[in-house]
Amino acid sequence: MSPYKNKWLFYYDLNLKEIVQAKLGLLGSSLELLPFKNIKEIKILNKKIVFIAVSDLSFIQDLHLKHPIIVFFKTFRVDENVLVPITQNNLLEGCFDLDNVLKVLDPYLHNQSGKMNSISSESIKEINLFTERVSKVESLSELLLELKHEFRSIKKINSTLLAVNKFSDGLDLLFFQGEKIRTASLNAHSEEGSRMRMNQQQDRNLLAATLGRPIAKILAVPILGGVNPVTIFIEHDLNEVELSSILDFISRRLQVIETILDVLLIERRLNEASQLWEKTFEGISDPVAIVDKEFNLLRGNKKFRQFPKMKKCYEVFFDREEACSTCPLSNFNNKEDVTVGQIAGNKNSYEVHSSPIYLYNKTQVAGFANHYIDQTETLGLKSRIIQSEKMAAIGHLAGNIAHELNNPLTGIRSYSQLLIKEMKSESQISQDLLEVEKAAARCQKIITNLLEYTQVQQESLTNVSLNLVVEKTIPMLKSALYSYNLKIEQKNQTVIVKANEQLLQQVLFNLVLNSTQAMSDRGEIQITVAKDGKQAILKVKDNGPGIPRDIQDQVFEPFFTTKEKGKGTGLGLSMVKKVVESFAGKIKLISHPQQGTEITLYFPLQPT
């Protein structure tokens, strides 16, 4: 007895091996798939119709058979010269392209099984209803629910799953857990290819690991087309005859499923790309904002949105009523791709990189992406380095001065003292010599103060008299204060604070020097040392032109200066603020236009 007696013979040339096996490989109970290289290899072992698939119809022009055939071909070009002789001999039952193979085979496969299986006898109306329902789904979860609904009448189908390769890496597996749909993200990929797979170990391992139970029979149906590979997994208990029907059942719906998947996966990919951009945007450690040409804030990342929500970027980030004068948006021109500016605010200094956003063409700017790089620590370090270099230079100068001047000054004082002893104390010469000796002593004291000023030991905090700090610092400012009226108010009380004496001298030196530079040749400077409860106060007040209100918040920022280029570094007041705060102190500025400026330092008062 022929082994092919109960099966339909389906010959195919080897060029079509993958296509035929993908479409018909699971119909082993009904079809015998037989490859051939040459038409002479085709042998008819029964009187049934023979199915032949060829990549070109010229394959069968020399075919001589006594039995009818149905031909499937890959190309759409039909050669009349080939078909005519076969047709004349009543051998050709039909000629179809391979895309219709399941549809053509359907009645033959059903007749062989004795009666049509109920799952393969649905009407066109049912297909249309499925199409209508599926066209309304808006997510992969809804599609899986529709597939479950469609398979509900097939008792031997246990579960349906969807595997979707993600945009980035891995795959998402959608499955039912009870009545709810769950999604598992796996570090794996479903096998790609157009061929349906039956009980492959890789598929079973993947599903078993996810569902936490063994998988017996599994049918994997890859969906062709779409932006991401998708596989429908069907867990079942079907035999081979029933399986051939389920394949036909699925094939009638594949085109609808592919179409809706195209839409869903495009949306999914857009969502994933949007989430990737969103996470990247939010993950940037620096503040980033997207603004329009009018400074309106369109979007800001978490670092930017820590501040109160307002309308303009300068309102949100810098709490200002007007745009920052140094903002790169104000200086943007279409010739530059990125504009850089320096902005100080919120006690920090930022380097702002502003990149234009073009939506339609290179001439029309839709907005700007601003990247705020915090330079506060860098500028502070630079400030300390410059300050250290300045102090080192002053120290070097002071050392040379002390070496060169102390010896002759000592000689002047010595000879003056000897001459004073030889002169009568009432004489004019004696009085003049006393003045010479005092002046030489004063010069030596200035040199000593200058040396102490440069020998800074930040770690050594001791009880320091603010009164003594004033007495030691003012002599070093004699030349700067020559044309100014200086008032010192100490109220006959000793005010003690815990600090570093040399650093406090630097603070007072900077404050007084700033006052002299802010005023014209004439003006008044008042230095006050006082107590207020548990606070020690050191105040420097002048009657100069004052500081404009819009820059008062910036005067303590590193490198901010209103002086002409080359006449100031912008480090003086920033150093003052840093030193005062390092001694647990506070600094307060009050300034009014044309009424002068008052800077008050507050320190914890120490017992005398």
Question: In terms of domains, do 276 and 183 share one?
Answer: yes
Residue 241 lies in a domain: yes
Query: Residue 113's pLDDT is what?
Result: 41
Question: In terms of domains, do 170 and 216 share one?
Answer: yes
Residue 196 lies in a domain: yes
Angstrom distance (rounded) from CA 436 to CA 508 = 29
Residue type, 418: L
DSSP character at residue 296: B
Residue 2 lies in a domain: no
Residue 1 lies in a domain: no
Question: In the beta sheet, which residues pair with residue 69?
Answer: 50, 92
300 touches 377 (CB < 8 A): no
What is the overall mean pLDDT for the chain?
Answer: 77
Query: Residue 540's pLDDT is what?
Result: 92
For residue range 250-279, list pLDDT tens digits in order: 877 877 888 888 888 888 777 777 777 777
Q: Is 365 helix (H, G, I), strand (E, B) or coil?
A: strand
Angstrom distance (rounded) from CA 397 to CA 167 = 67
pLDDT value at 538 more than 90: yes
Query: Which pair of structure tokens corresponds to residue 240?
Result: 């081979």
Q: At CA 253, angle to CA 55 and CA 174, rounded to 5?
A: 115
* Rounded mean pLDDT, 553-580: 64
Which secondary-structure segment (H or E) carries 179?
none
Residue 314: pLDDT band with limits 50, 70, 90: low
For residue range 466-520, list pLDDT tens digits in order: 999 998 888 878 777 878 888 888 877 789 999 988 888 888 988 888 888 888 7
CATH number at residue 232: 3.30.450.40
Share of the chain above pLDDT 90, in %: 7
Residue 445 lies in a domain: yes
CATH number at residue 546: 3.30.565.10
Residue finishing a domain among 260, 280, 300:
280
Query: Residue 89's pLDDT is what?
Result: 53
Question: In terms of domains, do 340 and 388 share one?
Answer: no
Continuous H helices in 284-353: 313-318
Question: In terms of domains, do 154 and 217 share one?
Answer: yes
How many domains would you assign to the chain? Answer: 5
11 touches 34 (CB < 8 A): yes
Q: At CA 219, angle to CA 185 and CA 221, rounded to 5?
A: 70
Question: In terms of domains, do 190 and 298 share one?
Answer: no
Lowest mean pLDDT among 56-65, 95-104, 112-121, 164-173: 112-121
Query: Residue 539's pLDDT is what?
Result: 93
Residue finishing a domain among 64, 82, 112:
112
Angstrom distance (rounded) from CA 219 to CA 237 = 10
For residue range 77-126, list pLDDT tens digits in order: 555 555 545 554 556 777 888 877 877 887 777 654 433 343 444 456 77
For residue range 212-225, list pLDDT tens digits in order: 888 888 988 888 65
Residue 283 has, within 13 A of its CA and on its CB side, a CA count of 6
Share of the chain above pLDDT 70, in %: 74
Query: Residue 350's pLDDT is what?
Result: 76
* Rounded mean pLDDT, 558-582: 64
Residue finishing a domain among 334, 369, 404:
369
CATH number at residue 419: 1.10.287
Angstrom distance (rounded) from CA 483 to CA 599 = 21
Question: In terms of domains, do 130 and 254 share one?
Answer: yes
Question: In terms of domains, do 187 and 173 share one?
Answer: yes
Q: Is 36 helix (H, G, I), strand (E, B) or coil?
A: strand
Residue 93 lies in a domain: yes
Question: In the beta sheet, which residues pair with residue 599?
Answer: 540, 589
Lowest mean pLDDT among 49-58, 340-349, 361-370, 450-459: 450-459
Lowest mean pLDDT among 115-119, 329-333, 360-364: 115-119
Question: In terms of domains, do 132 and 276 share one?
Answer: yes
Question: In terms of domains, do 108 and 160 share one?
Answer: no
Angstrom distance (rounded) from CA 153 to CA 558 = 77
CATH number at residue 104: 3.40.50.2300
Query: Residue 251's pLDDT is what?
Result: 76
Question: In the beta sheet, which residues pair with residue 161?
Answer: 233
Query: Residue 78's pLDDT is what?
Result: 55
Spatial neighbors of 32 by CB under 8 A, at least 6 apart, are: 4, 7, 8, 9, 10
For residue range 574-595, list pLDDT tens digits in order: 778 878 888 889 999 888 887 8
Residue 21 has, within 13 A of its CA and on its CB side, a CA count of 12
Query: Residue 351's pLDDT is what?
Result: 79
253 touches 146 (CB < 8 A): no
Query: Which pair of structure tokens corresponds to residue 437?
Result: 């000796």
Residue 433 lies in a domain: yes
603 touches 554 (CB < 8 A): no
Angstrom distance (rounded) from CA 79 to CA 335 = 64
Token pair 């398979």 is found at 151
Query: Which pair of structure tokens corresponds to residue 386?
Result: 């410059």
Query: Residue 26's pLDDT is what?
Result: 63
Query: Residue 329's pLDDT is what?
Result: 66
Domain span at residue 415? 375-455
Question: In terms of domains, do 213 and 347 share one?
Answer: no
For residue range 438-475, list pLDDT tens digits in order: 888 878 777 776 676 666 555 578 899 999 999 888 88
Question: In terms of domains, do 395 and 259 share one?
Answer: no
Query: Residue 121's pLDDT is what?
Result: 43
Question: In the beta sheet, which residues pair with residue 176?
Answer: 181
Query: Which pair of structure tokens corresponds to residue 7?
Result: 């099966």
Question: In terms of domains, do 75 and 149 share one?
Answer: no
- Which of 536 and 400 is assigned the larger pLDDT? 536
Distances in Å between the Cα of 267 and the Cα atoms of 62, 136, 263, 282 are: 52, 14, 6, 22
pTM of the model: 0.40
Residue 71 lies in a domain: yes
Q: Is 305 helix (H, G, I), strand (E, B) or coil?
A: coil
pLDDT value at 321 more than 80: no
